[in-house]
Amino acid sequence: MHGGHSHFAKYEVVVCKYCGSEDVVKYGVRDGVQDYICRACGRKFTAKDAPEGMQTPTEQIGSSLRMFYDGLSLSDVARNLEQTYDNPVNASTVYRWVIRFTLKALNLLEPLKPQVSDTWVADETMVKVAGHSLWFWDVIDEDTRFLLASHLSRTRGIGDVMTVMHRASKRAGKTPKWILSDSLGVYPDGIERIFGADAKHIQSRGFTEDININLIERFHGTLKERIKVLRGFKTEDTADLILDGFLLNYNFFRPHMMLRNKTPAEVAGIKTLIKRWEDVVRHSG
């Protein structure tokens, strides 16, 4: 050894991408890429950072999901992949990624409990699904801006308020003290049926008052701008999933200027190693 440098090449340890074991052996070469098999968990993988059974790298798939939930159309995302990475995929492939990894993200992140305040804001807005007008309901925490729950419905009744309030309470693990909403008449009864006298309903009187629902209205404006590129969802199940994906993207992956460039999840005290869509793709094995 001279000058602190070794003459020997450094040995690179290959670790199983699924269980983290170092008990890994080579398992042939496919398309010029080394395959491995883990003797601890028995799963096969490649040295390339890509999900099992897929050729597109994790970073490209994660980038595609981020672009989609930031408002690019499926065809625009596919075009960007080809121009940036010389990876010619079609829009239907991107769509399959969106469905697959949105479901994975929900499974990974939905069980995590946010620490939220005692004041929640509820609202509803109209979205188009297969040419039909449906109602999208949601509940947001006033302090952390964490979106606690959503609900897609054909109606605009007491039962819909009960559904979204029940979901919000379950996600937060608590009952709020105050719930702000617009003047829709079904809110007071729906809130009372879920929370009884424990939560007080406060009706917003508009943007000029101290008490208003402008923070959730701003979110709805952003949501509507981004779903325009979808030209209307094809089915209600797909719409439900994609709208859940928008909320998840909002809560976990988009820092907010009003929150000092933190995400609502961070402000709500949620600790997770999953900070980006790329992390969802990587952890999906």
User: Which of helix, strand or coil describes residue 56?
Assistant: coil
- Tell me, what's the pLDDT at 207? 46
Residue 212 has a pLDDT of: 57
Q: Give the pLDDT mean for 95-109.
A: 95
* Token pair in block for residue 168: 């919000």
pLDDT at 48: 66
Instruction: Kindly state whether residues 262 and 131 are assigned to the same domain.
Output: yes
- How many Å is the Cα radius of gyration of the chain? 23
Instruction: Answer for the pair 138, 149: CB distance below 8 angstroms, yes or no.
Output: yes
CATH of the domain at 185: 3.30.420.10
Calpha distance 213→210 (Å, rounded): 10
CA dist., res. 224 & res. 168, Å (int): 22
Clarify whether residues 141 and 265 are in a common domain.
Answer: yes
Q: Report if residue 280 sits inside a domain.
A: no
Q: What is the DSSP string of 138-196?
A: EEEETTT--EEEEEEES--SHHHHHHHHHHHHHHHTS--SEEEE-S-TTHHHHHHHHHG
Give the pLDDT confidence score for residue 233 in this predicted structure.
77
Per DSSP, helices labelled H in 70-153 are 74-85, 91-109
Task: Name the nearest CA neighbour of 36 among 59, 52, 60.
Answer: 52
28 lies in the same domain as 165: no
* Model confidence pLDDT, tens digit, residues 188-204: 999 999 999 999 999 87
pLDDT in tens, 227-240: 776 666 778 888 88
Domain holding 138, by residue range, is 119-269
| 157 and 60 in a common domain | no
Residue 285 is assigned to a structural domain of this protein:
no
- Tell me if 178 sits within 8 A of 120, measured CB to CB: yes
| Model confidence pLDDT, tens digit, residues 116-168 | 999 999 999 998 887 888 999 999 999 999 999 999 999 999 999 999 999 99
* Any domain includes 278: no
Are residues 127 and 223 part of one domain? Answer: yes
- To the nearest whole number, what is the mean pLDDT of the chain? 86
* 150 and 256 fall within a common domain: yes
Same domain, 155 and 255: yes
Do 232 and 139 lie in a common domain?
yes
44 and 61 housed in the same domain? no
Cβ within 8 Å of residue 187, ≥6 positions away: 122, 161, 179, 181, 201, 203
Q: Are residues 82 and 34 in the same domain?
A: no
Whether 188 is covered by a domain: the verdict is: yes
The residue ranking higher by pLDDT, 272 or 45, is 272
Q: State both tokens at 194.
A: 């879920």
Number of domains in the chain: 3
* C-alpha 271: how far from chain center: 15
Residue 109 has pLDDT above 70, yes or no: yes
Question: Do 181 and 104 have their domain in common?
Answer: no
175 and 284 in contact (C-beta within 8 Å)?
no
Which helix (H) or strand (E) segment holds residue 283: the answer is helix 277-283
The answer to whether residue 284 is domain-embedded is: no
pTM comes to: 0.79
Instruction: Determine, yes or no, domain membership for 39.
Output: yes
- Any domain includes 276: no
67 and 196 belong to one structural domain? no
Residue 281, in any domain of the structure? no
* Per-residue pLDDT, 3: 47
User: How large a percentage of the chain has pLDDT more than 70?
Assistant: 87
CA dihedral 256, 261, 267, 271 (to 10 degrees): 110
